[in-house]
Structure 1
Amino acid sequence: MTTSDDRVAIEQVLYRYARAVDRLDYDGIRDCYFPDAIDNHGGYHGPVSGLIEDIRRRHTTIDSSQHFISNVLIDFTSDDSAEVESYCLCYLRQAPVDGTTEQELAIIRCRYVDRFERRSGQWRIADRVVVFDEFRAQAITDSLNPGWVRSRRDGTDPVYLQ
Protein backbone atom coordinates (compact mmCIF):
# COMPACT_ATOMS: atom_id res chain seq x y z
CA MET A 1 0.00 0.00 0.00
CA THR A 2 1.41 3.40 -1.02
CA THR A 3 1.23 6.44 1.26
CA SER A 4 1.96 10.15 1.12
CA ASP A 5 5.39 9.22 2.52
CA ASP A 6 6.03 7.30 -0.73
CA ARG A 7 5.19 10.42 -2.76
CA VAL A 8 7.56 12.49 -0.65
CA ALA A 9 10.30 9.87 -1.00
CA ILE A 10 9.99 9.91 -4.81
CA GLU A 11 10.00 13.72 -4.93
CA GLN A 12 13.09 13.77 -2.72
CA VAL A 13 14.93 11.51 -5.20
CA LEU A 14 14.11 14.00 -7.97
CA TYR A 15 15.36 16.93 -5.92
CA ARG A 16 18.49 15.09 -4.79
CA TYR A 17 19.24 14.28 -8.43
CA ALA A 18 19.02 17.98 -9.34
CA ARG A 19 21.34 18.94 -6.49
CA ALA A 20 23.80 16.19 -7.32
CA VAL A 21 24.08 17.23 -10.98
CA ASP A 22 24.40 20.90 -10.06
CA ARG A 23 27.13 20.18 -7.49
CA LEU A 24 28.82 17.47 -9.63
CA ASP A 25 28.24 14.97 -6.83
CA TYR A 26 28.63 11.78 -8.88
CA ASP A 27 27.92 9.46 -5.94
CA GLY A 28 24.76 11.47 -5.29
CA ILE A 29 23.66 11.00 -8.92
CA ARG A 30 24.34 7.26 -8.66
CA ASP A 31 22.29 7.02 -5.46
CA CYS A 32 19.17 8.27 -7.29
CA TYR A 33 19.16 5.25 -9.62
CA PHE A 34 19.16 1.50 -9.22
CA PRO A 35 22.41 -0.03 -10.58
CA ASP A 36 20.55 -1.67 -13.49
CA ALA A 37 18.63 1.51 -14.46
CA ILE A 38 18.71 2.84 -18.01
CA ASP A 39 18.73 6.57 -18.83
CA ASN A 40 17.87 8.02 -22.26
CA HIS A 41 19.33 11.48 -21.79
CA GLY A 42 19.52 13.21 -25.17
CA GLY A 43 22.89 12.26 -26.63
CA TYR A 44 23.37 9.47 -24.11
CA HIS A 45 21.36 6.25 -23.77
CA GLY A 46 22.53 3.52 -21.45
CA PRO A 47 23.33 2.51 -17.87
CA VAL A 48 23.86 4.92 -15.00
CA SER A 49 27.64 4.40 -14.93
CA GLY A 50 27.82 5.72 -18.50
CA LEU A 51 25.45 8.58 -17.69
CA ILE A 52 27.77 9.71 -14.93
CA GLU A 53 30.75 9.65 -17.28
CA ASP A 54 28.70 11.55 -19.88
CA ILE A 55 27.79 14.23 -17.30
CA ARG A 56 31.42 14.38 -16.14
CA ARG A 57 32.53 14.99 -19.74
CA ARG A 58 29.78 17.44 -20.75
CA HIS A 59 30.03 19.52 -17.60
CA THR A 60 33.80 20.14 -17.66
CA THR A 61 33.23 23.57 -19.26
CA ILE A 62 30.06 24.44 -17.33
CA ASP A 63 30.78 26.71 -14.38
CA SER A 64 27.18 27.07 -13.16
CA SER A 65 24.28 24.63 -13.35
CA GLN A 66 20.76 24.78 -11.95
CA HIS A 67 18.00 22.22 -12.45
CA PHE A 68 14.52 23.20 -11.27
CA ILE A 69 12.06 20.31 -10.82
CA SER A 70 8.31 20.97 -10.79
CA ASN A 71 4.89 19.62 -11.81
CA VAL A 72 5.64 16.21 -10.33
CA LEU A 73 2.88 13.73 -11.17
CA ILE A 74 3.10 10.27 -9.61
CA ASP A 75 0.91 7.38 -10.71
CA PHE A 76 1.48 4.27 -8.61
CA THR A 77 1.19 1.14 -10.75
CA SER A 78 1.68 -1.17 -7.75
CA ASP A 79 2.85 -0.92 -4.15
CA ASP A 80 6.45 -0.95 -5.40
CA SER A 81 6.37 0.89 -8.74
CA ALA A 82 5.28 4.26 -10.06
CA GLU A 83 5.20 6.13 -13.34
CA VAL A 84 6.46 9.66 -12.68
CA GLU A 85 6.49 12.73 -14.91
CA SER A 86 8.25 15.90 -13.79
CA TYR A 87 9.14 19.13 -15.52
CA CYS A 88 12.72 20.34 -15.48
CA LEU A 89 14.07 23.78 -16.30
CA CYS A 90 17.86 23.82 -16.65
CA TYR A 91 20.26 26.74 -16.72
CA LEU A 92 23.75 25.70 -17.81
CA ARG A 93 26.38 28.45 -18.05
CA GLN A 94 29.63 27.84 -19.89
CA ALA A 95 32.82 29.12 -18.29
CA PRO A 96 34.16 32.26 -20.00
CA VAL A 97 36.71 31.77 -22.73
CA ASP A 98 40.17 33.05 -21.74
CA GLY A 99 40.33 36.83 -21.72
CA THR A 100 36.58 37.44 -22.09
CA THR A 101 33.73 38.12 -19.71
CA GLU A 102 30.99 36.92 -22.03
CA GLN A 103 29.56 33.47 -21.39
CA GLU A 104 27.01 31.26 -23.10
CA LEU A 105 23.93 30.42 -21.06
CA ALA A 106 21.91 27.43 -22.22
CA ILE A 107 18.29 27.26 -21.08
CA ILE A 108 16.70 23.85 -21.52
CA ARG A 109 13.07 22.98 -20.95
CA CYS A 110 12.45 19.27 -20.61
CA ARG A 111 10.51 16.60 -18.76
CA TYR A 112 11.67 13.50 -16.97
CA VAL A 113 9.51 10.48 -17.72
CA ASP A 114 10.56 8.01 -15.08
CA ARG A 115 9.70 4.59 -13.81
CA PHE A 116 10.41 4.44 -10.10
CA GLU A 117 10.61 1.24 -8.14
CA ARG A 118 10.86 0.49 -4.47
CA ARG A 119 13.43 -2.18 -3.69
CA SER A 120 14.52 -3.06 -0.17
CA GLY A 121 12.42 -0.16 1.06
CA GLN A 122 14.15 2.45 -1.15
CA TRP A 123 12.50 4.39 -4.01
CA ARG A 124 14.85 5.06 -6.91
CA ILE A 125 14.78 5.59 -10.65
CA ALA A 126 14.61 2.33 -12.61
CA ASP A 127 14.21 3.90 -16.06
CA ARG A 128 14.35 7.50 -17.33
CA VAL A 129 13.58 9.16 -20.64
CA VAL A 130 14.35 12.87 -20.90
CA VAL A 131 11.82 14.50 -23.24
CA PHE A 132 13.12 17.81 -24.59
CA ASP A 133 10.85 20.77 -25.29
CA GLU A 134 13.30 23.58 -26.03
CA PHE A 135 16.98 24.48 -26.07
CA ARG A 136 18.02 28.14 -26.15
CA ALA A 137 21.44 29.67 -25.86
CA GLN A 138 22.29 33.29 -25.27
CA ALA A 139 25.40 35.34 -24.56
CA ILE A 140 25.50 36.82 -21.05
CA THR A 141 27.88 38.63 -18.74
CA ASP A 142 27.79 37.52 -15.11
CA SER A 143 27.50 40.65 -12.96
CA LEU A 144 27.37 38.89 -9.60
CA ASN A 145 28.85 41.01 -6.83
CA PRO A 146 32.25 39.45 -6.01
CA GLY A 147 31.59 39.96 -2.28
CA TRP A 148 28.57 37.61 -2.32
CA VAL A 149 28.84 33.91 -1.54
CA ARG A 150 29.17 32.15 -4.90
CA SER A 151 27.92 28.63 -5.55
CA ARG A 152 30.48 25.95 -6.24
CA ARG A 153 30.17 22.77 -8.23
CA ASP A 154 31.86 20.52 -5.70
CA GLY A 155 31.93 19.55 -2.05
CA THR A 156 33.04 23.04 -0.98
CA ASP A 157 29.63 24.51 -1.82
CA PRO A 158 28.03 25.97 1.35
CA VAL A 159 25.25 23.34 1.28
CA TYR A 160 27.85 20.71 2.21
CA LEU A 161 29.47 22.82 4.93
CA GLN A 162 26.41 22.98 7.20
Structure 2
Amino acid sequence: MQNTTTEAAPLTSAELSQLREILERDAIRRVLERYARAMDRCDEASARSTYWDDGHDNHGLFKGNAQDFITWKMASPFEISGDQHVLGQSLIAVDGDRASAETYFVYYFEEGRIPLPNVVNVLAGRYVDSFERRGGEWKIADRVVVIDWSTVWRGDERFPGVETFVPGERYPDDLVYKKPHRLA
Protein backbone atom coordinates (compact mmCIF):
# COMPACT_ATOMS: atom_id res chain seq x y z
CA MET A 1 0.00 0.00 0.00
CA GLN A 2 1.35 3.39 -0.97
CA ASN A 3 1.68 6.15 1.63
CA THR A 4 -0.74 8.92 0.63
CA THR A 5 0.23 11.31 3.41
CA THR A 6 1.80 14.45 2.07
CA GLU A 7 3.29 17.23 4.10
CA ALA A 8 1.92 20.66 3.45
CA ALA A 9 4.35 23.24 2.26
CA PRO A 10 5.18 25.91 4.83
CA LEU A 11 3.00 29.00 4.60
CA THR A 12 4.43 31.95 2.76
CA SER A 13 4.62 35.32 4.49
CA ALA A 14 1.65 36.47 2.39
CA GLU A 15 -0.38 33.42 3.48
CA LEU A 16 0.58 34.00 7.13
CA SER A 17 -0.60 37.58 6.79
CA GLN A 18 -3.91 36.41 5.27
CA LEU A 19 -4.33 33.84 8.05
CA ARG A 20 -3.74 36.50 10.72
CA GLU A 21 -6.39 38.72 9.11
CA ILE A 22 -8.87 35.82 9.02
CA LEU A 23 -8.24 35.14 12.71
CA GLU A 24 -8.68 38.82 13.60
CA ARG A 25 -11.95 39.07 11.65
CA ASP A 26 -13.18 35.87 13.34
CA ALA A 27 -12.41 37.33 16.77
CA ILE A 28 -14.38 40.47 15.87
CA ARG A 29 -17.33 38.40 14.58
CA ARG A 30 -17.37 36.53 17.89
CA VAL A 31 -17.73 39.85 19.73
CA LEU A 32 -20.68 40.73 17.48
CA GLU A 33 -22.29 37.32 18.11
CA ARG A 34 -21.74 37.58 21.88
CA TYR A 35 -23.36 41.04 21.88
CA ALA A 36 -26.49 39.81 20.06
CA ARG A 37 -26.92 36.80 22.31
CA ALA A 38 -26.26 38.78 25.48
CA MET A 39 -28.82 41.43 24.59
CA ASP A 40 -31.45 38.83 23.66
CA ARG A 41 -30.94 36.85 26.86
CA CYS A 42 -30.46 39.95 29.06
CA ASP A 43 -27.04 38.65 30.06
CA GLU A 44 -25.67 41.91 31.38
CA ALA A 45 -22.10 40.78 32.11
CA SER A 46 -21.68 39.32 28.61
CA ALA A 47 -23.17 42.43 27.02
CA ARG A 48 -20.79 44.68 28.96
CA SER A 49 -17.83 42.53 27.89
CA THR A 50 -18.35 43.47 24.23
CA TYR A 51 -17.61 47.19 24.75
CA TRP A 52 -14.58 48.98 26.14
CA ASP A 53 -15.38 50.86 29.36
CA ASP A 54 -14.75 54.14 27.54
CA GLY A 55 -16.71 53.01 24.46
CA HIS A 56 -19.45 55.08 22.88
CA ASP A 57 -22.84 53.93 21.55
CA ASN A 58 -25.40 55.74 19.41
CA HIS A 59 -28.53 53.57 19.49
CA GLY A 60 -30.89 56.35 18.38
CA LEU A 61 -32.92 56.60 21.59
CA PHE A 62 -29.65 56.44 23.55
CA LYS A 63 -26.40 58.25 22.76
CA GLY A 64 -23.49 58.09 25.19
CA ASN A 65 -21.13 55.81 27.06
CA ALA A 66 -21.60 52.19 25.95
CA GLN A 67 -21.60 50.85 29.53
CA ASP A 68 -24.36 53.34 30.36
CA PHE A 69 -26.22 52.08 27.28
CA ILE A 70 -26.14 48.53 28.70
CA THR A 71 -27.51 49.82 32.03
CA TRP A 72 -30.22 51.77 30.19
CA LYS A 73 -31.18 48.81 27.97
CA MET A 74 -31.31 46.30 30.83
CA ALA A 75 -33.72 48.63 32.68
CA SER A 76 -35.83 49.21 29.55
CA PRO A 77 -39.46 50.07 30.31
CA PHE A 78 -40.64 48.23 27.18
CA GLU A 79 -42.83 45.21 27.94
CA ILE A 80 -40.92 42.72 25.82
CA SER A 81 -41.97 39.08 26.00
CA GLY A 82 -39.24 37.95 23.60
CA ASP A 83 -36.64 39.40 21.31
CA GLN A 84 -34.02 38.28 18.84
CA HIS A 85 -31.18 39.82 16.88
CA VAL A 86 -30.46 38.10 13.57
CA LEU A 87 -27.05 39.06 12.24
CA GLY A 88 -26.26 39.15 8.54
CA GLN A 89 -23.06 39.75 6.65
CA SER A 90 -20.19 41.71 8.15
CA LEU A 91 -17.66 43.67 6.19
CA ILE A 92 -14.61 43.98 8.45
CA ALA A 93 -11.43 45.92 7.69
CA VAL A 94 -8.55 45.35 10.11
CA ASP A 95 -5.76 47.91 10.39
CA GLY A 96 -3.33 46.90 13.14
CA ASP A 97 -5.05 47.29 16.52
CA ARG A 98 -8.06 49.01 15.00
CA ALA A 99 -10.84 47.70 12.82
CA SER A 100 -13.99 48.98 11.17
CA ALA A 101 -17.05 46.80 10.71
CA GLU A 102 -20.45 47.11 9.09
CA THR A 103 -22.79 44.31 10.20
CA TYR A 104 -26.33 43.91 8.91
CA PHE A 105 -29.02 42.95 11.45
CA VAL A 106 -32.73 42.45 11.87
CA TYR A 107 -34.03 42.92 15.41
CA TYR A 108 -37.43 41.55 16.38
CA PHE A 109 -39.17 42.08 19.68
CA GLU A 110 -42.54 40.78 20.70
CA GLU A 111 -44.99 42.41 23.02
CA GLY A 112 -47.75 40.42 24.67
CA ARG A 113 -47.55 36.67 24.09
CA ILE A 114 -50.72 36.34 26.09
CA PRO A 115 -53.32 37.71 25.76
CA LEU A 116 -53.62 38.19 22.04
CA PRO A 117 -53.19 40.25 20.00
CA ASN A 118 -49.45 40.15 20.04
CA VAL A 119 -47.32 42.86 18.49
CA VAL A 120 -43.97 42.26 16.81
CA ASN A 121 -41.72 45.25 16.24
CA VAL A 122 -38.99 44.94 13.62
CA LEU A 123 -35.91 47.06 13.04
CA ALA A 124 -33.53 46.31 10.19
CA GLY A 125 -30.25 48.07 9.83
CA ARG A 126 -26.52 47.98 10.29
CA TYR A 127 -24.09 48.24 13.16
CA VAL A 128 -21.31 50.56 12.05
CA ASP A 129 -18.56 49.81 14.53
CA SER A 130 -15.05 50.87 15.35
CA PHE A 131 -13.20 48.12 17.18
CA GLU A 132 -9.97 48.34 19.13
CA ARG A 133 -7.65 45.57 20.22
CA ARG A 134 -6.19 46.23 23.65
CA GLY A 135 -4.11 43.66 25.47
CA GLY A 136 -4.82 41.23 22.63
CA GLU A 137 -8.62 41.51 23.01
CA TRP A 138 -11.06 43.05 20.52
CA LYS A 139 -14.01 45.10 21.78
CA ILE A 140 -16.31 47.77 20.41
CA ALA A 141 -14.92 51.29 20.88
CA ASP A 142 -17.67 53.12 19.00
CA ARG A 143 -21.01 51.99 17.60
CA VAL A 144 -23.57 53.81 15.47
CA VAL A 145 -26.81 51.97 14.73
CA VAL A 146 -28.10 52.82 11.25
CA ILE A 147 -31.74 51.89 10.60
CA ASP A 148 -32.67 51.03 7.02
CA TRP A 149 -36.31 50.11 7.63
CA SER A 150 -38.79 49.18 10.37
CA THR A 151 -42.31 47.87 10.73
CA VAL A 152 -44.83 46.64 13.29
CA TRP A 153 -46.84 43.45 12.87
CA ARG A 154 -50.02 42.78 14.84
CA GLY A 155 -51.69 39.40 14.95
CA ASP A 156 -54.50 37.51 16.60
CA GLU A 157 -52.96 34.14 15.84
CA ARG A 158 -50.04 32.15 17.16
CA PHE A 159 -47.93 29.55 15.39
CA PRO A 160 -49.84 26.22 15.71
CA GLY A 161 -48.47 24.24 18.66
CA VAL A 162 -46.06 26.95 19.79
CA GLU A 163 -46.94 26.23 23.42
CA THR A 164 -45.35 22.76 23.12
CA PHE A 165 -41.86 24.18 22.44
CA VAL A 166 -39.34 25.10 25.13
CA PRO A 167 -39.73 28.87 25.55
CA GLY A 168 -36.76 31.23 25.32
CA GLU A 169 -35.90 32.76 28.68
CA ARG A 170 -33.60 35.45 30.07
CA TYR A 171 -30.26 34.90 31.79
CA PRO A 172 -29.69 32.63 33.74
CA ASP A 173 -32.87 30.65 33.08
CA ASP A 174 -32.48 30.02 29.35
CA LEU A 175 -31.56 26.52 28.19
CA VAL A 176 -28.13 27.64 26.86
CA TYR A 177 -27.01 28.44 30.41
CA LYS A 178 -27.85 24.98 31.76
CA LYS A 179 -25.99 21.67 31.51
CA PRO A 180 -25.69 19.75 29.20
CA HIS A 181 -26.54 22.57 26.74
CA ARG A 182 -24.36 25.24 28.37
CA LEU A 183 -22.43 27.34 25.89
CA ALA A 184 -19.51 29.45 27.02
- Say whether residues 1:34 and 2:20 are aligned partners: no
Cα-Cα RMSD: 1.6
- The within-5 A match list for 1:1-162 is 2-58=20-76, 60-76=78-94, 78-96=95-113, 100-140=115-155, 141-143=157-159, 144-161=161-178, 162=181
Greater relative contact order, per chain length (Cα 8 Å cut-off, separation 6+): 1
Counterpart residue number, 2:12: none
User: Residue type matched to 1:32 in 2?
Assistant: T
Q: Give the 3-state SS of the residue equivalent to 1:50 in structure 2.
A: helix
Distance 1:93 1:158 in 2: 20
Choose 1 or 2 for highest CA Rg. 2
Instruction: Report deviation, 1:134.
Output: 1.2
Q: How far apart are residue 58 of structure 1 and its match?
A: 2.7
Code of the residue aligned with 1:126 in structure 2: it is A
Shift of 1:145: 2.7
Secondary structure (helix, strand or coil) at the match of 2:162 reads coil
Q: If the length of structure 2 is used for normalisation, what is the TM-score?
A: 0.81
The structure carrying a bigger strand percent of its residues is 1
Aligned equivalents of 1:43, 1:7: Cα separation in 2: 29
SS in 2 for 1:153: coil
Q: 1:114 to 1:14 in 2, by over 3 A?
A: same
Shift of 1:96: 4.6
Q: Which runs of 5+ in 1 are unaligned?
A: none
The count of residues paired between Structure 1 and Structure 2 equals 159
> Normalization by structure 1: what TM-score?
0.91
C-alpha displacement of 1:90: 0.7
Same amino acid, percent of matched pairs: 35
Query: What is the CA-CA distance between 1:60 and the residue it aligns to?
Result: 4.6
Query: Partners of 2:93 and 2:162 in 1: how far apart?
Result: 44
Instruction: Detail structure 1 runs of 4+ shifted over 6 Å in the superposition.
Output: none
